[in-house]
Structures are given as structure tokens and as C-alpha cells.
Amino acid sequence: MPPVAYFPADYRSGRAAFRAAAAAAGARLTSHMAPSTGPDGKPLHTDVAVIGAEDAPHVLVCNSATHGVEGFCGSGIFTGWLDSNADARLPDSVKVVLIHALNCHGFAWLRRVTEENVDLNRNFVDHSATLPANAGYRRFHPLLLPDRWDDQSTAPMIAEFERYSARHSPFRLQCVLTAGQYEYKDGIFYGGQQETAARRRFLEIIDTHASKAGHVLFLDWHTGLGEYGAAELIGQTRPGSAHGDRVTKWFVTGLTSTKDGTSSSAPVSGTIGSGLRRRLAAAPTEVTSLTVEFGTYPPLDVLMPIIADNWLHLRGDPGDGTGRSIKASIRRALYPDQDDWKELVWMRGREIMNQAVEGLGSL
């Protein structure tokens, strides 16, 4: 099968292809139903495929669709990897756990957020403690929900973005808008006041498949930041640290960190990787955690469709002309449905998967 054919047209076809590839590869399959339905009114599921001995000491956990609409990428890579004889090159000491469409609601509805309108990758905070503050976001929030969505109504928002960027920097604007905020339920990058259903689903999967491992390598697959089709592996990758030296040895290139300013991502709160590390903190498990980020388009070209989609589900109509246009724009921003992008992503994605298995197998 040509690599571009692994990437689905939508959540339903992606799920079917993933499950078929998993079954053909002899994987053990389980499904977790979400508390919402898709645009077609049918139930939504997170599917988990497991290859390798259940008691293998080293576990590779790969997760897709933390930000739902970004799930096309992980779906294509996981399906393609399963289809290309994944089990034939799996060391005895390694188990692979593939999580397809963790945020299946967002994948099906072409949204980054969950059914609770929460950014899942900001939701893994301790909700019993004081939530992270983002005072800088407050100045922008009133501009993000105009009465209507067109060039005239969004002009004040864009003008304020430009003023702030000129005074500070475009990256500082990105930090303020995307770091995560916990005040405005109708805002963007909202981390939520409580745990989401998808967060509980993820931790249940980790408890089942990774809690007894000696070493867990976690790869969370995303799109939207960086150069078109290029892969960035974001983590605590400073040379000299155990984590940094390990991932440098295993993956060699594309490694960045928000801590030293080398990443295209702003520092963010409540990430799924931090939630995984806390969950396994009491277990005798060493954790290596990376975000795999594939670039699409320039930052503002990605941010504006995200803001527009938030407006759409709060004040617009997904079924009218404006709604359909916004849905097409957010899909394109986070999933360039072009053969050249898919080929770049597949080539690097397969390499990262194989490097991950080889790295764990070398322990």
C-alpha cells in the first residue's frame, strides 16, 4: 500500500483501518467508549492495540489525537506501522501500546478540544490545588468571541495580536495565548476546572498496560508547529541529564526543549506527558516522554482557525456556510491533506517508531 493511503479521510475510516491493521498484525485490541457521539450520531471510541508479551519489561506507549483534529497524523502512522510487519522486528523485551484517537470526540468533530471544550493537553494538572495562572491571556479573551465571524469583525483581534507582537515578540504572543488558561470556559487553550473523560480514559489505559513496566517510553503525536512536514521531538532533552542523553542516543536528530528555548512550542501547563509521569511516580518505572510534533503552516495560519472553531461552537452554526468554511480551515491547518506532507510525515514517523523500539530493546 502506498504510504499516503494510510492517512484517513475522517475519524470513522481511520478507526476502521487501524483496527483492521491491528487485527492483521495479531495485536490485542480493546475499545473504550466516550460519553459523546459523533456528527453522525453514532458512538465514539478510543481503540488500543497491544503487540508483544504482556509482561515485557519495556513499554512503548504511542498516543494519537490528544488534540482531536490532529489525529489524522497518528492514525496514519500507527496504521502504516502495523501494516508493515511491526511484530517481526519487535524485541522480546518490548511491548508496544498504540492508542488510537484518545480524544475521539475532537477527531470526529474536527476540534482540538474534548466534549467538555477542554484542551486535553492542558488538563493534566492537579485540580485539587491552585490552578496555574495566565494573567496575560485576560487582555485578549474579550476579542476572541466577536458577535459574528468575518474579516471586519476579526480585524480588532488581529490588530491587537500585531501590536503585542511588535512590542514584545511573536513568540511571546504564542506563549500568552497557548500556554493554557483555567479561567475562561469559553476561551481557547482552556485546561478545565476538573478532569475530562479523556483524561480518565488515558490513565485507565496506562494503569492496564504500563504500570508494571521497568521503563516506559511515551510518544504523544501532534501537528501544527514547525516547518511543513518536519518532525520535532519535544522533551527534557538537555545533554547531561539522563533523559536528555537517552533520547539523544535513541533519536539523534530533531530534539528540542521548551526549557532552553529550542522548541517551536511555548512552555505549557497540564500536559499529558506530565500526567503520565505523575501516574507512574509511585511505581518502579523509569519514564522517557516526548511530544512528536509535525509542522504544517505558519503560527498565525494555525492559530486563527483554532480561534474560529472555538467561536463556531459557542456562537455560530457548524452547518451554515461560515461553519463549513471554518471546519475546512481547521482541518487543513492541522492536517494538510497533501501527498507531499503525508509522505514526509510517514517517512519520519516510521523512522521514529523504529528508533523507539530499537532504543527500548537496547536497555
pLDDT tens, 105-144?
999 999 999 999 999 999 999 999 999 999 999 999 999 9
Q: Is the pLDDT of residue 153 over 70?
A: yes
CA–CA separation, 125 vs 44, rounded Å? 25
C-alpha cell at 15: 478507526
CA–CA separation, 233 vs 217, rounded Å? 13
CA–CA separation, 266 vs 5, rounded Å? 33
CA–CA separation, 175 vs 172, rounded Å? 5
Query: Which residue is listed with cell 501532534?
Result: 222
> Minimal CA–CA distance to 48: which of 69, 62, 66?
62
* pLDDT of 237: 67
CA distances from 224 to 237, 257, 293 (A): 21, 17, 7
* pLDDT of 168: 97
214-261 pLDDT tens trace: 999 999 999 999 999 999 999 976 667 777 889 999 999 899 988 888
CA distances from 172 to 111, 142, 161, 165, 179 (A): 25, 19, 11, 7, 10
- C-alpha Rg value of the chain to the nearest Å: 20
Query: Greatest CA separation found in the chain?
Result: 60
For residue 28, the cross-strand partners are 50
Element (H, E) at 311: helix 299-315
Return all residues near 234 (Cβ < 8 A) that are at least 6 apart: 256, 257, 258, 263, 265, 290, 291, 292, 293
How many residues in total does the chain contain? 363
Q: How confident is the model at residue 351 (pLDDT cuts 50, 70, 90)?
A: very high
β-pairing verdict for 231-234 and 286-295: antiparallel
β-pairing verdict for 286-295 and 215-228: parallel
CB 49 within 8 A of CB 22: yes
* pLDDT of 257: 87
Q: Quick one: average pLDDT of 177-198? A: 98
Q: What percent of the chain has pLDDT over 70?
A: 99
Domains in the chain and their CATH numbers? 3-130+190-296+335-361 (3.40.630.10)
255 CB neighbour count, 10 Å cutoff: 20
pTM for the predicted model, two decimal places: 0.97
Query: Which residue is listed with cell 532504543?
Result: 359
